[in-house]
Chains A and B, each alone.
Chain A
Amino acid sequence: MATSDMGDIQVAERALQHHFADMEQQRDTASFGMWMFLLTEIMFFGGLFCAYLVYRASYYHAFVEGSQKMNITLGATNTAVLICSSLTMALGVRAAQMGKPKLMVILLLVTILFGFGFLGIKAVEYHEHWVNHEFPGPSFHFETGDPAHPATDPQHTEIYFSLYWAMTGLHALHMVIGIGLVAWLVIAGLMGAYTPHYYNPVENVGLYWHFVDLVWIYLFPMLYLISKKHGG
C-alpha cells in the first residue's frame, strides 16, 4: 500500500506544471478555469435562449403548433438517458478520486454508451422531422396533420424549427465533443494517468458532461413541453 501511494504521488508530481506552487493550487486553478469556461458556454447558449424567448413571446400560436410535432416519449427517454449518463459520470469521477482506475474506466465506458444512446434516439427524431419537411429552409413545409385546424402561422413555426434544430444541434455537437473527451479519459485511464492525487482532467470532463446534461434539462421542457396545447 505504501509503495503504491508513493507511486501515486510521483505520478502526481510529474503532472505538476512548473508554474504552480503545489498540486492543490493546480487543481483549484484547473477547476476554476473549467467553471469559467462553462460560464462562457452558458452565454453561448444564452443567445439562442434569448431568440427563443423573443419569438415565443411574439408568436405563441406558431410555437404551440410546432411543438405538437415533438415526440415527447422519445424526448423524455432521452432526458432519462442523459440523467443516467450523468450518474455514471459522477460515479466515474468518484472512482478516480478513490483510486479505482478500472472501475473508473468501466463507468466511463458506460457513460459513452449512454451518450451514443442519446445521439441515436436524437437521430431517430431528426429523421422523422426531416422526412416530414420540418427542416427550415426552402423545402420547409408544415402541416398540423389535422384538416380541421390548418397551420395558422407556418412562417413562424419555421422559426420555431430553426431554433429547435439550432439548439438541439448545438447540444448534440457538445455531446459528440463530450464523448470524444470521455474516450480520451478512458485511454489515459487505462495507461494509469490518474491517481487520487491527480485527476483534474476527469473532474473537468465530468463538469463538462454534467453541463451538457443541464442544457438538455432546459431544452426538453422548452421545446417539447411548455408550448403544448391542450384540449384540441
Chain B
Amino acid sequence: MAEHKEETGPVGHIAPAKLYVAIWAILTALTLTTVLVSLVDIGPLNVVAALVIATIKGTLVVLFFMHLRYSPKLTMATVVAAMFWLFLLLSLTMTDYLTRAWPTNLGH
C-alpha cells in the first residue's frame, strides 16, 4: 500500500505518517518556546504562558496521537468528564484556601 492521504484500515482510522511528524515538530517547537518564555520575566504572564503552551501541547497529543479526533463521541465525553472532575477537585478545594483570610467581622 502506498502512503497517500487518509487511509482506512479494516478496523479504525489510520492517520498519515506525515501528520504525526508534523505534530511532533510542533510539540518540539512548543517545548523550546515554553523554555525560552520562562527565561524572560513577564510577571504573572509567565504562569499563563507556561500553562497555555502546556495545554496546547496536551490537546495536540490527545487529539492526534491518541486519535481522539477520530474517536466516538463517548470517548470525547470521557475526556471532558475527566477535565470537569479535575476542575471540581481543584476549584472547590481552592474555595476554602482562597477565602480563609477573608475577614469575618465585616459587620463590626
Contacts and interface: CB of A to CB of B under 8 A. Distances in A.
Q: Are A and B in direct contact (Cβ within 8 Å)?
A: yes
Interface of A: 8, 23-24, 27-28, 31-32, 35-36, 38-39, 42-43, 46-47, 49-50, 53-54, 57-58, 72, 76, 79-80, 83-84, 86-87, 89-91, 94, 97-99, 196-199, 203, 206-207, 210-211, 213-214, 217-218, 220-222, 224-226, 228, 230-231
B61 A214 contact: yes
Interface string B10-51: 111011010011011001100110110011110000110011
A210 B65 contact: yes
Contacts of B11: 23-24, 27, 97, 196-199
Given A32-B75, A211-B66, A83 B20 contact: no
B9 interface: yes
B90 interface: yes
Contacts of B31: 76, 79-80, 83, 220
A23 B12 CA distance: 11
B65 A32 contact: no
B105 interface: no
Interface string B53-83: 1100110011011100001101100110110
A207 B50 contact: no
Contacts of B102: none
Given A42-B82, A226-B38, A32 B74 contact: yes
Q: Which of A23, A53, A225 has the most CB of B within 10 A?
A: A225
A199 B83 CA distance: 28
Count class of interface residues, chain B: 35 or more
B80 to A, nearest CB: 10
B98 interface: yes
A58 B97 contact: yes
Contact of A218 (B58, B64, B74): B58
Contacts of A43: 82, 85-86, 89
Contact of B78 (A36, A79, A224): A36
A78 to B, nearest CB: 10
Nearest to A36: B78
Contacts of A203: 12
15 contacts: A8-B10, A35-B78, A35-B79, A38-B82, A50-B93, A57-B97, A83-B31, A86-B65, A89-B65, A91-B17, A97-B14, A98-B7, A220-B54, A221-B54, A226-B38
Contacts of A80: 28, 31
Contacts of A228: 38-39, 46
